[in-house]
Amino acid sequence: EDQVTQSPEALRLQEGESSSLNCSYTVSGLRGLFWYRQDPGKGPEFLFTLYSAGEEKEKERLKATLTKKESFLHITAPKPEDSATYLCAVQEGYGGSQGNLIFGKGTKLSVKP
């Protein structure tokens, strides 16, 4: 069973059409939830860290929120340059994998002009 599930797998938007990406998780004791953006053939670019339910972070057209079971990445009025794969990762607080990031499979976002 996946510990981090992202949906949808792919999302196509028109420029200016706002939407949300979902990341649900089932881990023991969340230490942190991380959002990354990855362009093809490049390394993931760090976007946000969220630590506790109710927390929100914003950066330009992106806003990340966190509940006890899931996180959302809201994209407001996206532009074509927002096209990328968005990865969600969680860090557990218990067990032998402390410090390891558990990645979801990502959401591939395409924004058409």
Partner 1 sequence: DTEVTQTPKHLVMGMTNKKSLKCEQHMGHRAMYWYKQKAKKPPELMFVYSYEKLSINESVPSRFSPECPNSSLLNLHLHALQPEDSALYLCASSHALGLATEQFFGPGTRLTVL
Count of residues that interact with partner 1, criterion CB under 8 A: 24
Is the Cβ of residue 17 or residue 32 nearer to partner 1 in the bound state?
32
Distances (CA, A) of 54 to 4, 29, 65, 78: 19, 16, 7, 24
Residue 98, C-beta contacts closer than 8 angstroms, at least 6 positions apart: 31, 91, 92
In the complex, minimum distance from the CB of residue 89 to partner 1, in angstroms, rounded to a whole number = 8
Which residues 26-45 are close enough to bind partner 1 by CB under 8 A? 31-32, 34, 36, 41-45
Q: Binder to partner 1 among 7, 46, 59, 112 (CB under 8 A)? A: 46
Which residues 65-104 are close enough to bind partner 1 by CB under 8 A? 87, 89, 91, 93, 98-101, 103-104
For the sheet with 62-66, list strands across it. Answer: 4-7, 19-25, 70-75, 62-66, 56-59
